[in-house]
Amino acid sequence: MVAPTRCERLGEALMTVSASTGDSPVIESRRQLVEWFESGCTPKKDWAIGTEHEKFAFTRDDLRPIPYEGERGVKMLLNALAEHYDWEPIIENGNVIALTKDKCSVSLEPGGQIELSGAPLKNIHQTCGEVHTHLHEVREICDGLGIDMLGVGHNPKWKREDIPWMPKGRYEIMKNYMPKVGNLGLDMMLRTSTIQVNLDFSSEADMVKKFRTSLALQPVATALFAASPFVDGKPSGFLSARSNVWTDTDPDRCGMLPFVFEDGFGFERYVDYMLDVPMYFVYRDGKYIDAAGKSFRDFMDGKLDVLPGERPTMNDWSDHMTTAFPEVRLKKFLEMRGADGGPWKRICALPALWVGLLYDDAALDAAWDLVKDLSVTEREALRNDVPRTALATPFKNGTVQDLSKDVLAISRQGLKNRGRMDSYGDDEGHFLDSLDDVAQSGRTLAEEFLDKYETEWNGSVDPLFKEYAY
Protein backbone atom coordinates (compact mmCIF):
# COMPACT_ATOMS: atom_id res chain seq x y z
CA MET A 1 0.00 0.00 0.00
CA VAL A 2 1.40 3.41 -0.93
CA ALA A 3 0.83 6.72 0.72
CA PRO A 4 -2.45 8.11 -0.54
CA THR A 5 -2.74 11.82 -0.99
CA ARG A 6 -5.96 13.63 -0.34
CA CYS A 7 -7.31 12.53 -3.69
CA GLU A 8 -7.54 8.96 -2.40
CA ARG A 9 -9.16 9.96 0.86
CA LEU A 10 -11.91 12.28 -0.22
CA GLY A 11 -13.69 11.49 3.00
CA GLU A 12 -11.32 13.91 4.68
CA ALA A 13 -12.36 17.08 3.05
CA LEU A 14 -14.90 16.27 0.39
CA MET A 15 -17.34 13.52 1.21
CA THR A 16 -17.81 10.58 3.49
CA VAL A 17 -20.78 8.81 2.04
CA SER A 18 -20.31 5.51 3.81
CA ALA A 19 -20.56 7.15 7.22
CA SER A 20 -24.18 7.85 6.55
CA THR A 21 -25.03 4.69 4.62
CA GLY A 22 -23.71 2.26 7.15
CA ASP A 23 -20.94 0.85 4.95
CA SER A 24 -18.23 1.90 7.36
CA PRO A 25 -17.72 -0.34 10.43
CA VAL A 26 -18.84 1.01 13.77
CA ILE A 27 -15.94 1.45 16.20
CA GLU A 28 -16.27 -1.20 18.87
CA SER A 29 -12.92 -0.80 20.61
CA ARG A 30 -9.84 1.37 20.92
CA ARG A 31 -7.90 -1.48 19.28
CA GLN A 32 -9.59 -0.73 15.94
CA LEU A 33 -8.15 2.77 16.05
CA VAL A 34 -4.65 1.44 16.59
CA GLU A 35 -5.14 -1.03 13.74
CA TRP A 36 -6.18 1.88 11.51
CA PHE A 37 -2.69 3.33 11.88
CA GLU A 38 -1.03 -0.09 11.63
CA SER A 39 -2.69 -0.62 8.27
CA GLY A 40 -0.55 2.24 6.94
CA CYS A 41 2.66 0.24 7.36
CA THR A 42 4.08 -0.17 3.85
CA PRO A 43 7.00 -2.25 2.51
CA LYS A 44 9.93 -0.04 1.53
CA LYS A 45 9.70 -1.09 -2.11
CA ASP A 46 6.21 0.43 -2.23
CA TRP A 47 6.98 3.77 -0.55
CA ALA A 48 5.57 6.69 -2.44
CA ILE A 49 5.60 10.50 -2.35
CA GLY A 50 2.40 12.53 -2.18
CA THR A 51 2.90 16.28 -2.61
CA GLU A 52 0.30 18.93 -1.81
CA HIS A 53 0.63 22.60 -2.62
CA GLU A 54 -1.66 25.59 -2.25
CA LYS A 55 -1.64 28.97 -3.93
CA PHE A 56 -3.64 32.19 -3.78
CA ALA A 57 -5.88 33.05 -6.72
CA PHE A 58 -6.33 36.75 -7.48
CA THR A 59 -7.75 38.96 -10.21
CA ARG A 60 -5.02 40.29 -12.47
CA ASP A 61 -6.28 43.85 -12.82
CA ASP A 62 -6.95 44.73 -9.18
CA LEU A 63 -5.08 41.95 -7.29
CA ARG A 64 -8.19 40.98 -5.30
CA PRO A 65 -8.92 37.47 -3.99
CA ILE A 66 -11.49 35.77 -6.17
CA PRO A 67 -14.99 34.92 -4.89
CA TYR A 68 -16.70 31.58 -5.37
CA GLU A 69 -19.40 32.81 -7.74
CA GLY A 70 -19.10 35.15 -10.70
CA GLU A 71 -17.40 35.33 -14.10
CA ARG A 72 -13.97 35.30 -12.45
CA GLY A 73 -14.76 33.07 -9.52
CA VAL A 74 -13.57 29.76 -8.15
CA LYS A 75 -16.62 27.93 -9.46
CA MET A 76 -15.93 29.13 -13.00
CA LEU A 77 -12.26 28.16 -12.65
CA LEU A 78 -12.99 24.64 -11.43
CA ASN A 79 -15.67 24.03 -14.05
CA ALA A 80 -13.33 25.23 -16.79
CA LEU A 81 -10.55 22.93 -15.56
CA ALA A 82 -13.02 20.04 -15.52
CA GLU A 83 -14.25 20.76 -19.03
CA HIS A 84 -10.90 21.36 -20.71
CA TYR A 85 -8.75 18.77 -18.92
CA ASP A 86 -11.19 15.98 -18.08
CA TRP A 87 -11.32 16.40 -14.31
CA GLU A 88 -14.30 14.89 -12.45
CA PRO A 89 -16.17 17.45 -10.31
CA ILE A 90 -17.01 16.71 -6.66
CA ILE A 91 -20.26 18.37 -5.62
CA GLU A 92 -21.39 19.41 -2.13
CA ASN A 93 -24.83 20.99 -1.73
CA GLY A 94 -24.91 21.82 -5.43
CA ASN A 95 -21.48 23.50 -5.41
CA VAL A 96 -18.39 22.12 -7.12
CA ILE A 97 -15.78 22.02 -4.34
CA ALA A 98 -13.10 19.78 -5.83
CA LEU A 99 -11.95 17.90 -8.91
CA THR A 100 -10.45 14.42 -9.18
CA LYS A 101 -8.43 12.64 -11.88
CA ASP A 102 -5.78 9.92 -12.00
CA LYS A 103 -5.37 9.58 -8.24
CA CYS A 104 -5.05 13.29 -7.58
CA SER A 105 -7.38 16.16 -6.77
CA VAL A 106 -7.78 19.90 -7.02
CA SER A 107 -9.57 21.24 -3.97
CA LEU A 108 -10.56 24.43 -2.20
CA GLU A 109 -9.20 25.90 0.98
CA PRO A 110 -11.52 28.21 2.99
CA GLY A 111 -10.29 31.50 1.49
CA GLY A 112 -10.32 30.25 -2.10
CA GLN A 113 -6.74 28.94 -2.08
CA ILE A 114 -6.42 26.34 -4.83
CA GLU A 115 -4.72 23.11 -3.79
CA LEU A 116 -3.32 20.28 -5.83
CA SER A 117 -3.11 17.03 -3.88
CA GLY A 118 -0.84 14.98 -6.05
CA ALA A 119 -0.86 11.29 -6.87
CA PRO A 120 1.36 8.83 -4.95
CA LEU A 121 4.55 8.91 -7.05
CA LYS A 122 7.85 7.06 -6.91
CA ASN A 123 10.36 9.88 -7.31
CA ILE A 124 10.76 13.66 -7.35
CA HIS A 125 11.22 13.71 -11.13
CA GLN A 126 7.62 12.53 -11.40
CA THR A 127 6.53 15.01 -8.73
CA CYS A 128 8.02 17.90 -10.65
CA GLY A 129 6.37 16.72 -13.86
CA GLU A 130 3.04 16.61 -12.05
CA VAL A 131 3.55 20.14 -10.74
CA HIS A 132 4.44 21.40 -14.21
CA THR A 133 1.34 19.83 -15.77
CA HIS A 134 -0.94 21.24 -13.07
CA LEU A 135 0.44 24.77 -13.20
CA HIS A 136 0.26 24.72 -17.01
CA GLU A 137 -3.42 23.69 -16.89
CA VAL A 138 -4.22 26.30 -14.26
CA ARG A 139 -2.41 29.02 -16.21
CA GLU A 140 -4.24 28.19 -19.42
CA ILE A 141 -7.62 28.49 -17.73
CA CYS A 142 -6.68 31.50 -15.60
CA ASP A 143 -5.38 33.46 -18.60
CA GLY A 144 -8.85 33.34 -20.11
CA LEU A 145 -10.42 34.56 -16.87
CA GLY A 146 -7.95 37.33 -16.01
CA ILE A 147 -6.76 35.43 -12.92
CA ASP A 148 -3.24 34.77 -11.64
CA MET A 149 -1.84 32.53 -8.87
CA LEU A 150 0.69 33.40 -6.20
CA GLY A 151 2.72 30.97 -4.08
CA VAL A 152 3.62 32.53 -0.71
CA GLY A 153 2.87 31.55 2.89
CA HIS A 154 0.45 34.32 3.88
CA ASN A 155 -1.71 36.66 1.82
CA PRO A 156 0.50 39.77 1.67
CA LYS A 157 -2.18 42.39 1.08
CA TRP A 158 -5.76 41.64 1.97
CA LYS A 159 -7.32 41.79 5.40
CA ARG A 160 -9.23 38.86 6.80
CA GLU A 161 -12.59 40.54 6.20
CA ASP A 162 -11.74 41.19 2.54
CA ILE A 163 -11.47 37.51 1.66
CA PRO A 164 -14.56 35.58 0.51
CA TRP A 165 -15.41 32.30 2.24
CA MET A 166 -15.81 29.16 0.17
CA PRO A 167 -19.12 27.24 0.49
CA LYS A 168 -18.00 24.05 2.25
CA GLY A 169 -19.90 22.74 5.25
CA ARG A 170 -16.92 21.94 7.45
CA TYR A 171 -15.51 25.43 6.93
CA GLU A 172 -18.63 27.05 8.35
CA ILE A 173 -18.27 24.99 11.53
CA MET A 174 -14.57 25.80 11.84
CA LYS A 175 -15.27 29.48 11.16
CA ASN A 176 -17.57 29.64 14.17
CA TYR A 177 -15.28 27.63 16.46
CA MET A 178 -11.85 29.10 15.74
CA PRO A 179 -12.31 32.45 17.54
CA LYS A 180 -13.21 30.55 20.72
CA VAL A 181 -9.82 28.86 21.01
CA GLY A 182 -7.27 31.23 19.44
CA ASN A 183 -6.77 34.62 17.83
CA LEU A 184 -5.38 33.63 14.44
CA GLY A 185 -7.42 30.58 13.43
CA LEU A 186 -9.43 32.50 10.86
CA ASP A 187 -6.21 33.87 9.40
CA MET A 188 -4.97 30.30 9.10
CA MET A 189 -8.07 29.36 7.18
CA LEU A 190 -8.35 32.39 4.93
CA ARG A 191 -4.87 33.80 4.51
CA THR A 192 -2.26 31.03 4.59
CA SER A 193 -0.85 28.69 2.00
CA THR A 194 1.62 25.82 2.24
CA ILE A 195 3.55 23.05 0.50
CA GLN A 196 3.36 19.61 2.14
CA VAL A 197 4.55 16.10 1.45
CA ASN A 198 3.11 12.79 2.65
CA LEU A 199 5.56 9.97 3.22
CA ASP A 200 5.28 6.28 4.13
CA PHE A 201 6.67 4.20 6.97
CA SER A 202 7.36 0.45 7.06
CA SER A 203 6.60 -0.31 10.71
CA GLU A 204 5.71 1.30 14.01
CA ALA A 205 9.40 1.66 14.88
CA ASP A 206 10.10 3.25 11.49
CA MET A 207 7.19 5.64 11.99
CA VAL A 208 8.50 6.67 15.42
CA LYS A 209 12.00 7.41 14.13
CA LYS A 210 10.71 9.37 11.14
CA PHE A 211 8.14 11.23 13.25
CA ARG A 212 10.72 12.32 15.84
CA THR A 213 13.32 13.32 13.27
CA SER A 214 10.97 15.27 11.03
CA LEU A 215 9.18 16.95 13.93
CA ALA A 216 12.45 18.16 15.47
CA LEU A 217 13.68 19.37 12.06
CA GLN A 218 10.44 20.97 10.95
CA PRO A 219 11.66 24.47 12.00
CA VAL A 220 14.52 24.06 9.53
CA ALA A 221 12.00 23.62 6.71
CA THR A 222 10.09 26.63 8.01
CA ALA A 223 13.28 28.71 7.90
CA LEU A 224 14.39 27.57 4.44
CA PHE A 225 10.92 28.12 2.96
CA ALA A 226 10.12 31.39 4.76
CA ALA A 227 8.17 33.42 2.22
CA SER A 228 5.54 35.41 4.09
CA PRO A 229 6.89 38.63 5.63
CA PHE A 230 3.82 40.76 4.87
CA VAL A 231 0.42 41.02 6.54
CA ASP A 232 -2.17 43.65 5.63
CA GLY A 233 0.15 45.16 3.01
CA LYS A 234 3.15 45.85 5.27
CA PRO A 235 6.00 44.03 7.02
CA SER A 236 4.70 41.93 9.89
CA GLY A 237 7.93 41.46 11.85
CA PHE A 238 7.94 37.81 10.81
CA LEU A 239 9.70 36.11 7.92
CA SER A 240 7.07 33.35 8.02
CA ALA A 241 3.82 34.95 9.12
CA ARG A 242 2.14 31.69 8.14
CA SER A 243 4.15 29.75 10.69
CA ASN A 244 3.42 32.35 13.37
CA VAL A 245 -0.32 32.01 12.69
CA TRP A 246 -0.17 28.38 13.77
CA THR A 247 1.16 29.39 17.20
CA ASP A 248 -2.16 31.05 18.04
CA THR A 249 -4.72 28.93 16.17
CA ASP A 250 -5.78 26.20 18.61
CA PRO A 251 -3.47 24.79 21.30
CA ASP A 252 -5.56 21.60 21.48
CA ARG A 253 -4.60 20.52 17.96
CA CYS A 254 -1.38 22.31 16.96
CA GLY A 255 2.26 22.36 17.95
CA MET A 256 5.36 20.21 18.41
CA LEU A 257 3.79 17.25 20.29
CA PRO A 258 6.37 16.67 23.06
CA PHE A 259 4.89 13.22 23.80
CA VAL A 260 6.25 11.96 20.46
CA PHE A 261 9.73 12.04 22.01
CA GLU A 262 8.77 10.18 25.19
CA ASP A 263 9.72 6.57 25.82
CA GLY A 264 7.07 4.15 24.63
CA PHE A 265 5.61 6.43 21.96
CA GLY A 266 3.81 4.60 19.17
CA PHE A 267 0.44 4.19 17.50
CA GLU A 268 -1.40 3.71 20.81
CA ARG A 269 -0.10 6.97 22.25
CA TYR A 270 -1.11 8.86 19.13
CA VAL A 271 -4.59 7.34 19.36
CA ASP A 272 -4.85 8.71 22.90
CA TYR A 273 -3.77 12.13 21.64
CA MET A 274 -6.38 12.13 18.89
CA LEU A 275 -9.10 11.01 21.29
CA ASP A 276 -8.32 14.11 23.33
CA VAL A 277 -8.38 16.47 20.34
CA PRO A 278 -11.80 18.19 20.40
CA MET A 279 -14.08 17.37 17.49
CA TYR A 280 -15.22 19.70 14.73
CA PHE A 281 -18.03 17.82 13.01
CA VAL A 282 -19.73 14.57 12.10
CA TYR A 283 -20.72 13.94 8.50
CA ARG A 284 -24.14 12.34 7.98
CA ASP A 285 -26.51 12.16 4.99
CA GLY A 286 -24.55 14.67 2.96
CA LYS A 287 -24.36 17.25 5.75
CA TYR A 288 -21.86 18.33 8.38
CA ILE A 289 -23.25 18.25 11.92
CA ASP A 290 -21.62 20.75 14.25
CA ALA A 291 -19.80 18.91 17.04
CA ALA A 292 -17.14 21.56 17.63
CA GLY A 293 -15.40 21.24 20.97
CA LYS A 294 -17.06 17.93 21.82
CA SER A 295 -15.30 14.71 22.83
CA PHE A 296 -14.62 11.80 20.50
CA ARG A 297 -14.35 9.66 23.63
CA ASP A 298 -17.95 10.58 24.45
CA PHE A 299 -18.88 9.74 20.86
CA MET A 300 -17.36 6.27 21.30
CA ASP A 301 -19.48 5.81 24.43
CA GLY A 302 -22.65 6.82 22.56
CA LYS A 303 -22.82 10.05 24.54
CA LEU A 304 -22.41 12.67 21.81
CA ASP A 305 -25.34 15.00 22.41
CA VAL A 306 -25.73 16.00 18.75
CA LEU A 307 -26.12 12.30 17.81
CA PRO A 308 -27.54 10.75 20.99
CA GLY A 309 -26.97 7.01 21.27
CA GLU A 310 -25.00 6.81 18.02
CA ARG A 311 -21.44 5.53 17.93
CA PRO A 312 -18.75 6.57 15.45
CA THR A 313 -17.72 4.65 12.36
CA MET A 314 -14.19 4.23 11.08
CA ASN A 315 -14.99 6.93 8.53
CA ASP A 316 -15.75 9.28 11.42
CA TRP A 317 -12.32 8.44 12.82
CA SER A 318 -10.69 9.08 9.44
CA ASP A 319 -12.45 12.46 9.30
CA HIS A 320 -11.33 13.25 12.85
CA MET A 321 -7.71 12.62 11.82
CA THR A 322 -7.91 15.63 9.51
CA THR A 323 -8.83 18.02 12.32
CA ALA A 324 -5.45 17.95 14.14
CA PHE A 325 -2.80 20.34 12.81
CA PRO A 326 0.57 19.62 14.46
CA GLU A 327 3.81 20.45 12.67
CA VAL A 328 3.95 16.80 11.56
CA ARG A 329 0.70 14.88 11.33
CA LEU A 330 0.32 11.12 11.56
CA LYS A 331 -2.34 9.32 9.56
CA LYS A 332 -1.60 6.18 7.57
CA PHE A 333 1.50 8.13 6.55
CA LEU A 334 3.42 11.12 7.89
CA GLU A 335 2.57 14.61 6.68
CA MET A 336 5.25 17.36 6.73
CA ARG A 337 3.51 20.65 7.51
CA GLY A 338 6.18 23.28 8.24
CA ALA A 339 6.73 25.08 4.93
CA ASP A 340 5.33 28.24 3.40
CA GLY A 341 3.87 28.13 -0.07
CA GLY A 342 6.39 29.22 -2.66
CA PRO A 343 7.38 29.42 -6.33
CA TRP A 344 7.63 26.51 -8.73
CA LYS A 345 11.10 25.33 -7.74
CA ARG A 346 10.17 25.28 -4.06
CA ILE A 347 7.22 22.98 -4.74
CA CYS A 348 9.65 20.35 -6.00
CA ALA A 349 12.26 21.15 -3.34
CA LEU A 350 10.03 20.42 -0.34
CA PRO A 351 9.39 16.74 -1.13
CA ALA A 352 13.02 16.38 -2.20
CA LEU A 353 14.20 17.66 1.19
CA TRP A 354 12.13 15.19 3.20
CA VAL A 355 12.52 12.21 0.89
CA GLY A 356 16.29 12.62 1.08
CA LEU A 357 16.16 12.73 4.88
CA LEU A 358 13.57 10.03 5.57
CA TYR A 359 13.67 7.48 2.74
CA ASP A 360 17.34 6.49 3.09
CA ASP A 361 18.39 4.67 6.26
CA ALA A 362 21.84 6.25 6.54
CA ALA A 363 20.42 9.74 5.98
CA LEU A 364 17.70 9.17 8.56
CA ASP A 365 20.31 8.09 11.11
CA ALA A 366 22.43 11.16 10.36
CA ALA A 367 19.44 13.52 10.52
CA TRP A 368 18.34 12.10 13.86
CA ASP A 369 21.87 12.54 15.22
CA LEU A 370 21.56 16.29 14.61
CA VAL A 371 18.59 16.70 16.93
CA LYS A 372 18.33 13.66 19.19
CA ASP A 373 19.82 15.47 22.18
CA LEU A 374 17.50 18.49 22.05
CA SER A 375 15.29 19.05 25.08
CA VAL A 376 11.59 19.87 24.92
CA THR A 377 12.47 23.46 25.77
CA GLU A 378 15.03 23.68 22.96
CA ARG A 379 12.62 22.24 20.38
CA GLU A 380 9.88 24.62 21.45
CA ALA A 381 12.23 27.61 21.37
CA LEU A 382 13.32 26.69 17.86
CA ARG A 383 9.70 26.38 16.73
CA ASN A 384 8.71 29.70 18.31
CA ASP A 385 11.72 31.75 17.15
CA VAL A 386 12.11 30.58 13.56
CA PRO A 387 8.96 32.33 12.22
CA ARG A 388 10.52 35.68 13.15
CA THR A 389 14.22 35.20 12.43
CA ALA A 390 14.36 32.11 10.14
CA LEU A 391 17.95 31.11 9.37
CA ALA A 392 19.39 33.67 11.81
CA THR A 393 17.74 31.89 14.75
CA PRO A 394 20.35 30.74 17.29
CA PHE A 395 20.95 26.99 17.46
CA LYS A 396 23.49 25.46 19.85
CA ASN A 397 26.78 27.28 19.13
CA GLY A 398 25.64 28.64 15.79
CA THR A 399 22.43 29.34 13.93
CA VAL A 400 19.68 27.54 12.06
CA GLN A 401 21.58 28.50 8.92
CA ASP A 402 24.42 26.23 10.05
CA LEU A 403 21.95 23.48 10.87
CA SER A 404 20.22 23.87 7.50
CA LYS A 405 23.52 23.34 5.66
CA ASP A 406 24.02 20.07 7.52
CA VAL A 407 20.43 19.02 6.89
CA LEU A 408 20.67 19.74 3.17
CA ALA A 409 23.96 17.86 2.86
CA ILE A 410 22.38 14.82 4.51
CA SER A 411 19.30 15.07 2.31
CA ARG A 412 21.39 15.37 -0.86
CA GLN A 413 23.38 12.29 0.11
CA GLY A 414 20.14 10.45 0.87
CA LEU A 415 18.81 11.30 -2.59
CA LYS A 416 22.10 10.16 -4.12
CA ASN A 417 21.85 6.89 -2.22
CA ARG A 418 18.31 6.37 -3.55
CA GLY A 419 19.65 6.55 -7.07
CA ARG A 420 16.42 7.56 -8.77
CA MET A 421 17.63 8.90 -12.11
CA ASP A 422 15.89 10.94 -14.77
CA SER A 423 16.36 10.49 -18.53
CA TYR A 424 19.52 12.63 -18.39
CA GLY A 425 21.13 10.41 -15.76
CA ASP A 426 20.68 12.92 -12.92
CA ASP A 427 19.49 11.90 -9.48
CA GLU A 428 16.94 13.84 -7.42
CA GLY A 429 19.56 15.98 -5.68
CA HIS A 430 19.34 18.93 -8.08
CA PHE A 431 15.85 19.69 -6.75
CA LEU A 432 17.62 20.94 -3.60
CA ASP A 433 19.66 23.55 -5.49
CA SER A 434 17.29 26.43 -4.71
CA LEU A 435 17.44 25.54 -1.00
CA ASP A 436 21.23 25.32 -1.08
CA ASP A 437 21.25 28.88 -2.41
CA VAL A 438 19.15 29.97 0.58
CA ALA A 439 21.26 28.09 3.12
CA GLN A 440 24.58 29.32 1.75
CA SER A 441 23.49 32.95 1.49
CA GLY A 442 21.39 33.00 4.67
CA ARG A 443 18.84 35.01 2.70
CA THR A 444 15.31 33.66 2.54
CA LEU A 445 12.71 34.51 -0.06
CA ALA A 446 10.97 36.57 2.62
CA GLU A 447 14.09 38.72 3.01
CA GLU A 448 14.28 39.10 -0.76
CA PHE A 449 10.70 40.42 -0.70
CA LEU A 450 11.49 42.83 2.13
CA ASP A 451 14.55 44.21 0.34
CA LYS A 452 12.47 44.90 -2.76
CA TYR A 453 9.67 46.39 -0.66
CA GLU A 454 12.12 48.91 0.81
CA THR A 455 13.73 49.76 -2.53
CA GLU A 456 12.29 49.14 -5.98
CA TRP A 457 8.73 48.47 -4.78
CA ASN A 458 8.56 51.82 -2.96
CA GLY A 459 6.82 50.48 0.11
CA SER A 460 4.11 48.56 -1.76
CA VAL A 461 3.40 44.83 -1.87
CA ASP A 462 1.52 45.08 -5.16
CA PRO A 463 4.58 44.29 -7.33
CA LEU A 464 4.91 40.98 -5.46
CA PHE A 465 1.73 39.75 -7.15
CA LYS A 466 3.09 40.53 -10.60
CA GLU A 467 6.74 39.51 -10.23
CA TYR A 468 6.16 36.21 -8.45
CA ALA A 469 2.90 34.93 -9.97
CA TYR A 470 3.04 31.46 -11.49
Q: For the segment 289-335, what is each residue's pLDDT rounded down to a tens digit?
A: 999 999 999 999 999 999 999 999 999 999 999 999 999 999 999 99
| Angstrom distance (rounded) from CA 274 to CA 27 | 15
Predicted local distance difference test score (pLDDT) of residue 11: 33
Residue-wise pLDDT tens digits, 68-88: 999 999 999 999 999 999 999
| Angstrom distance (rounded) from CA 338 to CA 383 | 10
What is the average per-residue pLDDT within 206-214?
99
Q: How confident is the model at residue 3 (pLDDT cuts 50, 70, 90)?
A: very low
pLDDT surpassing 80 at residue 17: no
What is the average per-residue pLDDT within 142-150?
97
| Angstrom distance (rounded) from CA 353 to CA 467 | 26
| Angstrom distance (rounded) from CA 333 to CA 238 | 31
Is-contact 231 190, C-beta < 8 A? no
User: Any idea where the domains of the chain sit in the sequence?
Assistant: 6-467
Q: Which residues, in sequence order, are bridge partners of residue 283? A: 288
| Angstrom distance (rounded) from CA 7 to CA 277 | 24
What is the average per-residue pLDDT within 335-340?
98
Could you give the percent of the chain with pLDDT greater than 90?
A: 95
Q: How confident is the model at residue 38 (pLDDT cuts 50, 70, 90)?
A: very high
pLDDT surpassing 90 at residue 232: yes
pLDDT surpassing 60 at residue 18: no
Positive or negative: CA dihedral 361, 432, 154, 240: positive
Is 6-467 a CATH 3.30.590.20 domain? Answer: yes
Predicted local distance difference test score (pLDDT) of residue 23: 82
Predicted local distance difference test score (pLDDT) of residue 7: 38
| Cα distances (angstroms) measured from residue 5 to each of 96, 118, 219, 371 | 20, 6, 23, 28
What is the average per-residue pLDDT within 165-189?
98
Predicted local distance difference test score (pLDDT) of residue 22: 55
pLDDT surpassing 70 at residue 13: no
pLDDT surpassing 80 at residue 15: no
| Angstrom distance (rounded) from CA 402 to CA 395 | 8
Angle between helices 361-371 and 204-224 (to 10 degrees): 70
The pTM for the full model equals 0.95
Q: How confident is the model at residue 191 (pLDDT cuts 50, 70, 90)?
A: very high
Look at residues 402, 379, 401 and name the one whose alpha carbon lies nearest to residue 391: 401
Is-contact 339 243, C-beta < 8 A? no
pLDDT surpassing 80 at residue 12: no
Q: How confident is the model at residue 16 (pLDDT cuts 50, 70, 90)?
A: very low
Predicted local distance difference test score (pLDDT) of residue 45: 98
pLDDT, the chain, mean? 95
Could you write out the three-class secondary structure of 216-239?
HHHHHHHHHCCCECEECCEECCCC
What is the average per-residue pLDDT within 134-152?
98
Q: How confident is the model at residue 34 (pLDDT cuts 50, 70, 90)?
A: very high
